[in-house]
Structure 1
């Protein structure tokens, strides 16, 4: 076959001999030009006809023989060179083994299981397998910390695996009775790959996208003479995807060791000398419940730089920043787009509501959702609730489908909110007593023990949706004697104007999604402003030295600046007009 870009005139197509023509393609690569030029020989005399066939003359055949001998010599030389070069390389199977770094890395390393007592408590909602050897975290933002020394290498061992090319295995839970749902998970299947963030000491975060099996945190470059504190975070910021972090354990050098978390020199310096060692090992806890987690800030396309930006959004949310500002533990039950009420039209996870998910071990759609959460695992020092964004969007978008007025939908939201706070008081974190608390040391030096109840802050949604309903929730609860629930007026905190062509760093919100389903998200600046303003309100519950917190008068939380009856008058009049119109045309 002739080479591409070369045209031949067939000698048998005409009685007259036509010279062979070669044309080089201008766009061919340099090495193609060289090859074609080597083959661009010319025929000096016409061939001698023999019957219907044409044969070259003797001069041409001599040149062709020399050309063939030269080509054969080149083939032989090339073959010998390849044989000598391959002779010093390993066999194909040995080469594939070398390409698997984790096989070589774990040789000579010691394995530490996830249930090792020196791995500090997994922060967030984690479940354990029935044999106790694996921990699984499902809510966005779960993390765990550990401190070690004497090792240069740190590897994570995950049960997550790439199962896209495998036959899915459905593992049915043998637990059928609701009374038995608290038992450990018996699921042995592997979750999909998960993206992680890792921070070593005070260095920048390491982004580990699509992590599975053995994940390298540090490979031979840690200082064995000092202590190192490592945090592993699962942001779980993929859109419309439910992720699970499955931790088997760690791999470190044989001479390395895990240390109790509170014995690192940096932490000892942060604690005051008057504190007891027991309180030193129990950091304070913040719990946030929201349907608008700030971790979605990584979806802002105006600042997008690829996958890394989206994953880093998991540590840029206001709920994460708020806990980090105090150096406390923080747990987020953040279900983006999920309504508080049940049977929410257009809401994520409907017919279940956020109130249902709060009492489970994992989000809807996970195996952990079938297991009620054991609230003795941790007790927060303060709780912040920011919900209503998704409910209001559903009420406005699907108002006709509900066949209810906005007033009626608002009352449903308010009643569900009150029921949630009462359930938290009665079932999740009841008033502390020596007979009900599993970990009494949690309440040492805690304002919660003195106040007799967990402080709960009910926030006005950031854009003012359902403002009156959230205020009425607090008024009803305080009227029934709950003096540890407070209403936070967030009006004026953020600028709700969105300029689609403006700079992201100059705005507090951005719109995410298609034209008809755009969702409001907080930008990085918006998240930072929320965290700073919330810092003032929760300071006396989370700060190590509460006396340094700014004083805020009680009127801030009693809502005296808002008259809910007057604020709801316009809404009530609008719904009354709607009732009259329905009565006129339908009755």
Structure 2
């Protein structure tokens, strides 16, 4: 694997038909094991038989096997024909429907999506990517995917495309991704779960009111354990009389029903302009949406998939009704060459500058940071690094102090790279940010970045030192969020899960602590208060937070460093006493 660091260079379940593997009666089985009366003789003691007798005996032995082979082949061919017939019957009927490809301006993709060089599809790999579209005049909506079933029984649809070829985009010859589970929300109704979706997935089949305007969001939670998923979208199918409407951002109130969809954008002869959608970007090594994986066996597949939109990172964006993007790599350290960390030697900072997670085709392509610019960034990093330092500390041959400093330096390098490479031309929002900095007269001139103290307090001093050092260097738009007291870190293993904030994920290699649904909700609510004035539609309704609360505890970095130094000195002396 070639490794390049960016810092070195700017309930509807489609029937899945399975092939039945038939073995011939004699394949991979010795005759002795089948109890055949075979007598082995040498040439000297072989009975004298004629050629005709040997021929008859030989054929009497193989004729049953031949008949069985022919019968098996016939049964296999009939089974294949039956499977193909069932597959065709279950496949949604697209006759009479119009196809709308992914390049239609009415489909709005949110997150990190790449487009194939021929423009035939878009691919998203980071957990929580989604796309929206609004329409009327159709009662049927089908989703066209490039994801395919490994059994090869999905319906293949070739789509012509004459889009220009771009060298830096993924190749159109890439193989189809595996089936992917999706969540679909029609208007304000409950989520529809589409487990293991492939090829043509049905969202609504003739049940929508054709005279009304509808909005649909398709989300890919990507919560499957130990697997990297990719959503490959070709487009959608709707009725011939249907049409996609210009996307209405969630920050813009819905148009009055009296306004015709054809007059969308105009009312009373005046142009109605929509404000740009606000954007929240979260980078974390412990996505809350991963919590559903451990309990999927107990709560069912649908409930586990639904957990993909119950993480704090997804809930926070939904609370404001804004766009939200998560660069989440569960179990990946920030530091490179992290022992026990997922994806090592790559680190989370490397993934941030890529178009997709490690292990996907999109990871080979740098992200160009032109699709969106966030209004706020939230960084929740350190859980995986701390686990590595604790579990594999003896293999590092470095003290906790030294590992903490390395984490701190990498964190600062990431923030500086975000400032200079990712979003160098950030234009601040019109919100008065004077309340959120030390000086009441200064205002944030750059993208607001919130560095969170990890939820269980891991590397607390290091994350606080990151903010202190950057602020001393003049970065007045970075803030440290003290999460102590947000959650109850004590776990009653005999108590009810819904009354806990954490649970122990015993399936992970390091037995990670993960947030429960209640814990995710608490984090989202408390975070909402801190980022409200940057993301809310009406900032005046946000709760006022004084600077000392907003920036976290007024800790003395020198005292924290002294405590770490004393602990490391004690560790150093113990090693010298027993090993030197």
| TM-score, normalisation: structure 1 | 0.75
Pick from 99, 112, 128: which aligns with 1:111?
99
Change (3 A) 1:579 1:365: same
Is residue 133 of structure 2 the alignment partner of residue 139 of structure 1? no
**Displacement of 1:454:** 0.2
Name 1:59's counterpart in structure 2: none
**Displacement of 1:162:** 1.3
- The answer as to whether partners of 1:191 and 1:245 remain within 8 angstroms in 2 is yes
Name 1:27's counterpart in structure 2: none
Which deviates more from structure 2 when the two are superposed, residues 134-143 or residues 298-307? 298-307
**Displacement of 1:297:** 2.2
- The answer as to whether partners of 2:140 and 2:208 remain within 8 angstroms in 1 is yes
**Matching of residues 294-373 of structure 1 within 5 Å:** 294-301=288-295, 304-373=298-367
**Matching of residues 61-210 of structure 1 within 5 Å:** 97=85, 100-101=88-89, 103=91, 105-120=93-108, 122-163=109-150, 182-210=168-196
- The answer as to whether partners of 2:279 and 2:373 remain within 8 angstroms in 1 is yes
Q: SS at 1:451's partner residue?
A: coil
Q: SS at 2:217's partner residue?
A: strand
Name 2:497's counterpart in structure 1: 504
Is residue 556 of structure 2 the alignment partner of residue 563 of structure 1? yes
**Matching of residues 399-478 of structure 1 within 5 Å:** 399-432=393-426, 445=430, 451-478=444-471
**2-structure distance, mates of 1:338, 1:96:** 43
Q: Deviations over 1:224-278 (max 9, x none)?
A: 000000000000001110000000000110000000012899524799x9xx978
Change (3 A) 1:101 1:488: farther
**2-structure distance, mates of 1:515, 1:352:** 20
Change (3 A) 1:563 1:113: same
- The answer as to whether partners of 1:98 and 1:104 remain within 8 angstroms in 2 is no
- The answer as to whether partners of 1:292 and 1:337 remain within 8 angstroms in 2 is yes
- The answer as to whether partners of 2:289 and 2:309 remain within 8 angstroms in 1 is yes
**Displacement of 1:299:** 2.8
**1-structure distance, mates of 2:509, 2:360:** 29
Change (3 A) 1:104 1:386: closer
- The answer as to whether partners of 1:360 and 1:371 remain within 8 angstroms in 2 is yes
- The answer as to whether partners of 1:185 and 1:368 remain within 8 angstroms in 2 is no
Structure with higher Rg: it is 1
Q: Deviations over 1:453-485 (max 9, x none)?
A: 100000000000000000000000000000000
Change (3 A) 1:558 1:532: closer
Pick from 499, 514, 518: which aligns with 1:521?
514
Q: SS at 1:331's partner residue?
A: strand
**Displacement of 1:560:** 5.1
Q: Deviations over 1:342-363 (max 9, x none)?
A: 0000111111000000000000
Change (3 A) 1:181 1:559: farther
Q: SS at 1:252's partner residue?
A: strand
**Displacement of 1:539:** 0.3
**2-structure distance, mates of 1:386, 1:238:** 22
Which deviates more from structure 2 when the two are superposed, residues 481-490 or residues 423-432? 423-432
**Displacement of 1:99:** 5.2
Q: SS at 1:576's partner residue?
A: helix
**Displacement of 1:296:** 1.4
Q: SS at 2:387's partner residue?
A: helix
Is residue 276 of structure 2 the alignment partner of residue 288 of structure 1? no
Pick from 363, 377, 391: which aligns with 1:397?
391
**2-structure distance, mates of 1:104, 1:291:** 39
- The answer as to whether partners of 2:285 and 2:383 remain within 8 angstroms in 1 is yes
Name 1:226's counterpart in structure 2: 212
| TM-score, normalisation: structure 2 | 0.76
Name 1:75's counterpart in structure 2: none
- The answer as to whether partners of 2:287 and 2:311 remain within 8 angstroms in 1 is yes
**1-structure distance, mates of 2:167, 2:565:** 44
Q: CA RMSD in A?
A: 2.8
Q: SS at 2:568's partner residue?
A: helix
Change (3 A) 1:99 1:516: closer
Q: SS at 2:126's partner residue?
A: coil
Name 2:228's counterpart in structure 1: 242
**2-structure distance, mates of 1:485, 1:149:** 44
Change (3 A) 1:94 1:569: closer
- The answer as to whether partners of 2:115 and 2:169 remain within 8 angstroms in 1 is no
Name 1:535's counterpart in structure 2: 528
**2-structure distance, mates of 1:514, 1:144:** 32
**Displacement of 1:312:** 0.6
**5+ residue gaps in structure 1?**
1-91, 167-179, 434-442
Change (3 A) 1:182 1:281: farther
**Displacement of 1:96:** 5.4
**2-structure distance, mates of 1:398, 1:332:** 28
Name 1:69's counterpart in structure 2: none
**2-structure distance, mates of 1:111, 1:102:** 20
Answer 1 or 2: which has greater helix percent: 1
Pick from 374, 380, 393: which aligns with 1:380?
374
